[in-house]
Amino acid sequence: MNWRQISTVYCKELIDTLRDRRSLISMFVVPIVVIPVLMFGAAAVSYKSVRKAYEEIPTVMLIGGANSPHLRAAFAADKRIKLVPFADDYAARIENKQLRAAVEVPDDFDATVARLGKAPVVMIYNYAGDVHSGAAVSELTRFFSSYGDKMVRSRLAAKNLPADFHRPFTVKRQNVAPPEKVGGAQLGGLIPYLLILLCFTGAMYSALDLTAGEKERGTMETILCSPVGRTELVLGKFLLVLTASLVTVVCTLASLSLTALGAVRLLAGDAAVQGAKVVGEGGLEISVSLPGLFGVCVLVVPLAVLFSAVLFSVALCAKNYKEAQSYVSPLIFVIILPAALAMLPGVELNAKYALVPLLNVALVSKEMVSGNFPIGMIALIFGSTCVYAAAALAIAVRMFKKESVIFRA
């Protein structure tokens, strides 16, 4: 094996790749610009739409309560709910988004409550899945909870009892999980999913161009006539594909980290603080283990070798670029399935899953991002992935030496 020839082939292919617009877009533009814009742009639009829905005053229809002036007066005094006159087609109005929700109470609601008899049933009608209808349900729940608390306090006051008489104890929650555990639970499945997907797509375009693209341009024969061995040729091309894959992953990580840092600083005084208060009085800190993130990046290297070798072998069988795309495109679904499976609750790392390609890396990445480092499993997964990668690379070298594959008519 001549490393000087390998480096010569690698440098030549690197220069050609840097001149190719599609490769540059795949390696730099997509991970640095497109992915952060799509992810955080979608999150920003979703946040603004939900916030707008909860800020507007929902229109609600009251069904029943004809003989309940106290309840109607309480509704009229509430500035966060707008009552509309009763109509028989309330269900159709909710479905057509003309009405956010409807609430049905017995006509003698006030009298039933005053008699201290059986508690009346309050029925809320809403449109599941609609954020505006959900906001209306939240307001109605708040209203009846507040209305019920006032009635309880007035009854206790009439009996000269303390206001908290009906609450013999108070339950509070305190999160004792380290920030890394919380962050790992929230992001542990997403981070390896993104890395696996981007590692694959980063290698895809270079692999197609260096194999099927060379055939289509008619330059494969010229390269084979050069005084360079087949093994050196395939290794030089393979290293370029591997470089493209790793560059895509690094650019994506750097871009997402900087974008996330800016988003947290921007929202720290608003949405982030409000979200923490909703979770619990003790506050909620979300963090990601930096050593774990570094370990994930190390595991990505043999995975990138595996992807690069597989893509190189598959694309080499195609006669032209279009045919190679038809061969490679279905592989995206093959890699997405185990990566998505690792995100499901209850799928935990064990010795059996440690030997399953892709799934093993995704599962151990979840553990490392959470701050757990099962050394035995990490070694097993790293070793098995290296074996799979070496086997795929050996197959790629062997296929490149077959003229029936290279000069397929």
pLDDT at 184: 55
Report yes or no: 362 and 192 within 8 Å, Cβ to Cβ: yes
In whole angstroms, give the CA distance from residue 355 to residue 358. 9
pLDDT at 190: 77
pLDDT score of 275 more than 70: no
pLDDT above 70 as % of the chain:
89
Q: Is 40 helix (H, G, I), strand (E, B) or coil?
A: helix
Quick: pLDDT tens for 230-274: 889 989 999 999 999 999 888 887 887 777 666 666 555 444 434
284 contact partners, CB below 8 Å, separation of at least 6 = 175, 182, 275, 276
In whole angstroms, give the CA distance from residue 253 to residue 248. 9
pLDDT at 20: 80
| Averaged pLDDT score across all residues of the chain | 84
Look at the pTM and tell me if it is higher than 0.85.
Answer: no
Q: Hey, how many other C-beta atoms are within 10 angstroms of the C-beta on 74?
A: 16
In whole angstroms, give the CA distance from residue 217 to residue 319. 11
Which strands form 101-105's sheet, in the order they lie side by side? 82-84, 59-64, 101-105, 123-125
**Cα distances (angstroms) measured from residue 379 to each of 360, 361, 384:** 11, 11, 8
pLDDT at 283: 45
Quick: pLDDT tens for 110-137: 998 888 778 889 999 999 989 999 999 9
Which residue type occupies 9? Answer: V
pLDDT at 272: 40
- Which residue(s) pair with 246 in the sheet? none
Q: Is 123 helix (H, G, I), strand (E, B) or coil?
A: strand
Quick: pLDDT tens for 298-355: 888 999 999 999 999 999 888 888 999 999 989 998 888 988 888 887 788 888 889 9
Quick: pLDDT tens for 349-397: 888 889 999 999 988 888 888 778 889 999 999 999 999 999 999 999 9
Instruction: For each of the domains in the chain, give its residue range(s) and CATH number, in order of start.
Output: 3-41+178-407 (no CATH), 53-159 (3.40.1710.10)
- Closest C-alpha among 278, 206, 275 to residue 242: 206
pLDDT at 29: 84
- What does the pLDDT average to over 218-223? 81
Asked which of 16-25, 89-98, 183-192 is least confident by mean pLDDT, the reply is 183-192
End-to-end CA distance of the chain: 30
In whole angstroms, give the CA distance from residue 385 to residue 364. 12
- Mode of pairing for the β-strands spanning 82-84 and 59-64: parallel
Q: What are phi and psi of 201, to 5 degrees?
A: -65, -30
Structure tokens at 153: 């306090």
Confidence of residue 37 (pLDDT cuts 50, 70, 90): confident
Quick: pLDDT tens for 140-162: 999 999 999 998 888 888 888 88
pLDDT at 74: 94
Quick: pLDDT tens for 166-212: 788 888 888 776 665 655 556 666 778 888 888 898 888 889 988 88
- Closest C-alpha among 94, 91, 195, 90 to residue 136: 94
In whole angstroms, give the CA distance from residue 188 to residue 205. 28
Q: Is 62 helix (H, G, I), strand (E, B) or coil?
A: strand
Query: pLDDT: is 219 or 280 the higher one?
Result: 219
In whole angstroms, give the CA distance from residue 247 to residue 389. 18
pLDDT at 267: 54
